[in-house]
Each structure stands twice: as structure tokens, then as C-alpha cells.
Chain A
């Protein structure tokens, strides 16, 4: 390891996900199930115990010399780990040296915690100019190699390990500061702190109650990594001769042994082992803490063999049942018995879509409606073969033009983007921020159709105007962050229709847009459908959208389609109780909106 403060894991910096997690007793229990964590805890407990008990367990005082034992090899009488060039017992010196490491850890941790926590809390809570100043100080500190600052201080004060470690504590404080600040900012923007403000709690109590409990977990994780670095640094400072020669320490023992490495190489092993084991304990404990506290963020990965087996089962079922589809030729796109799952462990898969059937004819707009988490988007992704990598298609088929796309990945690749296109939900995150609008639209169209750059550009300009973008030339030169959400959604629709597809799968195409823009985009989709005879599947949670634009509709709940019908019939006479509830609640919302106006 290159020992410096910058080695401390910056991944932790953005862990806003940890925000609401609290360190509970259960955390400790699940930690004890992790062998690496147990190893870390045991090693660190031994280190602390040895440090405290040093006067009683060390065979000799730290600086006692025994000239008869000069350079004694390990396991010699009276000197279990041997003795150094001055005849000092290595075991005793390591035992006494533990105290210096513990003191160094305590200093580094308390200095960096006090500075990082208070700085981060204040900057994150009050923001503004204050935050700009603390950010600048933190940036400057982070751009300095900490060890060099220790060297500069040495020139002023001479050997002084507590001071060196205080300096180092200041140098690592930015890593905690940034972490705390980002957590505080995310907590602060959450409603409950505002609510507390309204109730009239003082600023201090708001900070105390909510924010401190939110930053606790990430700070503990980061603290473990800070301590790992501190142990390395305090050893290194002694090794290069900037420590106090009169004091026994791990780094000093290492230095003495290293100076005699030609005559007595074995002696290097003990201090090196002690230092590395202690750092390893902190690193493993830190990793285990992070895994435990972030457990829900880690998606389980399926074993490759298990994934292959599941794919084979699904494929066999497709081959066996293929003729089943022969009668449905008039249908353009047909989803049959689709089942999708996500791994819950390396062997287990949780099914989220339980066998869904949908048929769409040419020019038909089909609404797929249901609450969030009902599996609508998973169906949309499956149709076009863009499910997340960890997802598994457990069974079923997607017939397009009578051929099963799920059975044949090559056909899926050929159809995707050319015959079936996709319009995503959140316009801003679905444009590549590094490329201009023109560049990414052209790449897409050219790889789908293979037309020349010039032809692609001309066609896209025309289409951009068609979807309602007036200054198409100018917009093509802009980057995604320079256009509005409504315009971005038009760009994405343009990207979808550019290759003249037969089917469009639109996943909540209007959810992220303003109400007025929503209506315009829906109108655009309807026009495109009738103009080009496009079939569409529109995924939405909004029954208003369904009533507005769809011909047929499927109502989904918990991975199943509970009711499927043409729109008029469904709205007039819903048969399923869930559909009735859904219609009822959406009417209520409408009434409330009317009342608001």
C-alpha cells in the first residue's frame, strides 16, 4: 500500500444509501457470522489487551539490553522471537510498542472525527458560503501528501509521534468531512428534518436527533479504514527515523531489524507480521461492516451454472410448445407465458413476473397499467431484450411476426431497434451526457440501418421537426444537459421511430414530464401510431393516460395480469376487484385535482 490519506476508500463518499440505516444490535450479531469480521475483532482485541497489559506480560523492560543475546535468532532461550543488534528482546519491544500504535490510533481517530464530523455537519447543514470555504480547505488538505506534512513538522519540533499523528489526523479529516457532508445534505433535503423545523426544535437538536443517527454507520465504516492507514503511517514514520529513538514501537523494531537484514534477516518477520496483521484486521472489519450495513444494496449474483440451467429449462419449454402459436398469425407482437425472476441468492431466484400473455395488432395501442413494482417495466424490457444483466427469463416467449425472439438471441438483436423500438421513462438519464444529441441519434440510426452519415442526419433533422423541435439544427449540436426534459423526451421518441419500427414499447413515457408537456407527448405518440400504423405498448401507472390514448389495456398486479380488455369495456364494467379499486382511486384523485383548481 502506498501509505497516504488518499488511499482511504473514496467509494464510501457517496453512500447516501446508508443514510437511514442505523447501527443496531443486530448489526453486531450478523457481523459475528462473518468469519473475516470475527478475525478482525479478535486480532484487534488482542492488540488492545496486549497494549494494556504490557507491564505484566512483557518478559523484559522495553530498553533492557542483554549483550549475551545480541542478534539472538528466534526461539532461543529467554528470547522467544530473538533479540536485536543491541541485545534487546524483540518480543518485549513489540509488546511495549503496541502502546504507541494504540495511542496513535486514538489520536488520529479523535482528531479526524472531531474535525470531519463538526465540519461536515456544519457545512452540510448550513450550506452557502460557509460550505464553500470548508470545501476549499478540505480540497487543499486532500491535495497534499500527508506524510510530507509530517516531515515538515518534524523540521520544526523534532521527534514527536503524538504531534505527527495529530497532523495526520488533520490530513485525513477531509475523507470523513466529505462523507458526513454528503450524508447530511441528503438527510437535510428529506422531509422529516423540515418537519422538525416546523415543529420548532432548535437547530442543534435537529442535528443531534436526525442527522447524527444517519451519519453514524458510514462514519464507523470509514473510521475502520482511517485506522488501517494510521497503523501503516505510524509504523512508517518510525521506520524512516522520524520517531522517538528512546521509545519502543513496532516501526522502530522494524527499523532495527531492517538495518541488520544482512546479518539477521529473520528478525524482520515479526514486526512486519504484527503491523500487517493489525492493518488487515482493520481492513477486513471495515469491509465486513460495509457489507453488513449495506446488505440491501448488494444484489445477489446467481451462480453461472445455475443461470445456464434455468436458461436451458426455459428454452426446452419453448421448443416443445412452439406450434402452440400457429393460430395467432394476425397478431404482430405476442407475449406468451412470460416469467421473469431476479436472484435472491447464488442458487435461488425470486419470480417477479408470473406468466403473462399480451397480444398487440398493427396500429393498436395497448396499455399496461399497474402500481409500481407490479412488473410492468420487466415485461417491457423482456420484449426488447434489455433486461438488467442479473435478471433471468424463467420461461415464456415473445413472438414477433410469428417467430420467437426469446428463443433466438440473434433474431432479437436483428429486431431490436429496427423493428421494435423503445421509449424510456426518465428522459434526462436516458441520453448519454458525453455526446451531443445529434451524435448519439446518428450513431443509433446508423448502427440500426447502415445508412450513410449524411442520409442519417437529414432523416433525423426531418424527424426532430416532426416530433415538434423547431430549431432541429441547433438542438443536434447541444449536449443533453443543455435541453429541457420535455425536449429530451421528444428526442428519445425521435430516436425510437428513426429506424421506422413496427412496434414501440414505451415505459412510462410521460411520468417525468410536466402536465402540459405530458398531453403534447401523448398526442405525438397517438399521431405517430396512426400515421405509421405503429403498434404500441405503453407502460403506465396512470389510468388517465390509458383512457386518453389506448385501445386495449392489461391491468397488472404483483406480476400477474388480473384483467385484460378493450379500454371502453374495462372502464365501463371492470370485473376484477383490483381494477375496480384502481378506477375508484383514480377518480378520487381527479376529484381532488378539480377541487384544487
Chain B
């Protein structure tokens, strides 16, 4: 088990290095362009060149990357080209917002789609049809359109929830929940639509396995068969579904933060990209990759606990 975790960790670090290197090369490839967008269109070529040198953008890319990487090891992700604010500091106030949004959505998604997927696999009938309807609807309406609809319905027509803004959990737990209700709802439908129908699929797969029939022939009661054998074996594919859904939420959250003006990392990345603030963009990319890798790592470790074949020996 320990070996499995170490190998998975090493692999994650490898992916982190590769992905961050490529993203760095993309975002920093045009040093002069970055300097020009920092200074504005009226700056002279000399001013731009001077700015590029000041920001260290005239150095070879690989040198700049190694510089960034060594900063990363000490927790220093550089400073914003525009405001001079430390990237790490900016992120530390933004990450909790995005995490609140995603964790709340994931908790609800997991509960609702497990219940929906498992029961519709077991009993079929009208539950099956409800699930089919939700999954088509959830796939057809993008989260941002649902979000706009929710704002219109529950913040403008019936002003019950706040349309925009975020209240920190430490300031007011109730306000925190209030400010996140609509954004979470907007993300939830799509996530459930995707996860529930796949849970149903993995349940049906697990139910139709030969060993379930054989265990049933031994006289094991249906309830034990279900809880001990079927759910456990559906759990592995279920974890993959959950980790992919979480991954999808990192993308979806970006739109939702923009719609609801939630000050999370997604909104930060968009405003930084619009302003050409490259260190900030790079910081967000780093944070999201790390979060994604953590999610994958968790799913892999849990998966190898469930499935003896996935353990690396």
C-alpha cells in the first residue's frame, strides 16, 4: 500500500513538472508582447524593451522556468506585473472560494447521484426515466445558462438569494451558505446528470457479473450481496466517475465564478489573462493542476484500497 502511494505521488510530481513547463512556455513565450501589454499600446519600443528586461522577460525561457520553479519551492510564485501584489498572497485569498464551491457541489453530487444511480439500477421503471430526463437536460443546458436563469428567477424576480458576491465562512457560516446556494445549484445539475447515469452504468455492470450469480447460488441474502459485493465492486469505477466529475467542475466553476462574481481562482485567471498579467495566470494554472492531481491521487489510493488488482507490488 505504501509503495502504491509513493509511486502515485512520484507520478503526480512528474505530471506537475511537465504540465507546468509547457504552460510556462506558452504563457511566457512572447516576452516583448507581455511587456507591451503591461505598459499599454502607447509605449515606445525602447520603453517596452526596458520593461521586458526589468521583469526578466528577456532571458531564455528555460532560465525563466527554472527561476519560477526554484521560487515555487520556497512558496514564492512571483508578483503581479500590474499591481506588484504577491501571486501566492492573491491565491491564498482566492482558493478557499473556489474550493468552497467545488467541495459543496461534490458532496451534494456524490450523495444525490449515488442514491439516484444505485436505486435506478436496482429498481428501474420510472426512476430510470427520471434519470434519463435529468441527464439529457443536464447535458443540454450549460452551467452558465442555468446560472443566469437562477439569477433571474431567485435573485431578480423573487429576490431571495444574493445574485453576486461571496461571504467568507469565517465571517458568517449562514451567509457563506447563502452566497453559494445559487452557484452550487448551477453546477450541480450538470454534475449529477453526468455522474448519476454513470453510477447507474457501473451498478448494472457489477450486478451482471458472474460472481454475483454464483454468490447468490450459495444462499447469501440479497441485501448482503448488494452491500458487500455489488456496491464494493461498483465502487472502483464510481471513484473514477467522481474524480472526472470533480475535474469537470474546475472548468465549470470558472464560468460560474464569472457569472456570480465570486472572487475565486477562475475569475482571477480570467481577469489576469485579460490584463496580460502572466505570473498570476501561471499561479492559477499551478493551483488548479495541484488540486486536480490531489483529487486523482485520492481516487487512485481509494481505488487501490477497493480493488486488490490496482495495488502496485
Give A residues with C-beta under 8 Å from B. 1-7, 10-11, 139-140, 143-149, 151-156, 228, 232, 235-236, 239-242, 254, 258, 261-262, 265, 268, 272, 275-276, 279-280, 283-284, 287, 301, 304, 381, 384, 386, 388-389, 413, 416-418, 421-422, 424, 426, 429-435, 440, 443-445, 447-448, 479, 481, 492, 495-496, 499
- Give B234 Cβ to nearest chain A Cβ, in Å: 10
Pick the residue among B18, B217, B251, B307 that contacts A146 (CB under 8 A): B251
Q: Decide: A236 and B255 in contact? CB cutoff 8 A.
A: yes
For the complex, what is the distance from the CA of A440 to the CA of B18, rounded to whole Å?
Answer: 44
Among A2, A11, A145, A279, point to the contact of B201 (Cβ < 8 A).
A11
Q: Is there a chain A Cβ closer than 8 Å to B160's Cβ?
A: no
- CA A536 – CA B287 in complex, angstroms? 64
Select from chain B the residue with minimum beta-carbon distance to A262: B156
- CB-CB under 8 A from B219, the residues of chain A are 413, 416-418, 444, 447-448, 499
A258 to B259 CA separation, bound complex (whole angstroms)? 9
Contacts of A448 in B (CB 8 A): 218-220
Chain B residues contacting A10 (CB-CB under 8 Å) are 198, 244
State how many angstroms separate the Cβ of B223 from the closest Cβ of chain A.
11
Which residues, 109 to 146 on B, are CB-close (under 8 Å) to A? 124-125, 136, 138-145
Question: Cβ of B72 < 8 Å from any Cβ of A?
Answer: no
What is the minimal beta-carbon distance from A422 to any residue of chain B, in angstroms? 4
Most central of B125, B139, B272 by chain A CB within 10 Å: B139
Q: For residue A137, which residue of chain B has the nearest CB? A: B18
Are A152 and B281 touching (Cβ within 8 A)? yes
Known: A429-B210, A495-B218. A155 touches B276 (CB 8 A): yes
Q: Which 4 A-B pairs have the closest CB atoms?
A: A417-B219, A2-B252, A4-B251, A1-B190
Binding site for A on B (CB under 8 A): 15, 18-19, 23, 26-27, 29-30, 33, 124-125, 136, 138-145, 148-149, 151-152, 156-157, 187, 189-191, 193-194, 198, 201, 207-211, 213-221, 224, 228-229, 232-233, 244-245, 247-255, 258-259, 269-270, 272-274, 276-278, 281-282, 284-285, 288-289, 292-293, 296, 306-309
- Residues from chain A with Cβ under 8 Å of B259 in the complex: 239, 258
Q: How far is the CB of B119 from chain A (nearest CB, A)?
A: 15
Q: How far is the CA of A386 from the CA of B220 in the complex (A)?
A: 12
List, in ascending order, chain B residues with CB within 8 A of A276's CB: 140-142, 145
Give Cα A421 to B292, complex, Å.
Answer: 48
For residue A492, which residues in chain B have a CB less than 8 angstroms away from its CB?
214
Main secondary structure of the interface of A (DSSP, over half): helix
Q: Within 8 Å CB of A434, what residues of B? A: 229, 232-233, 306-308
Q: Is the CB of B248 within 8 A of A280?
A: no
Measured between beta carbons, the chain B residues less than 8 angstroms from A4 are 247-248, 250-252
Residue picked from B152, B209, B276, most chain A C-beta under 10 Å:
B152
Contact A241 B270 (CB under 8 A): yes
Of A140, A422, A424, which is within 8 A of B19 by CB? Answer: A140
A143 with B293: CB separation less than 8 A: yes
B308 near A433 (CB under 8 angstroms)? yes
Question: Given A156-B27, A241-B274, does the pair A3, B252 have CB atoms closer than 8 Å?
Answer: yes
Q: Which listed residue, B149, B217, B270, touches A416 by the CB 8 Å rule?
A: B217
A480: min CB distance to chain B, Å = 8
Complex CA distance for A386 and B225, rounded to whole angstroms: 13
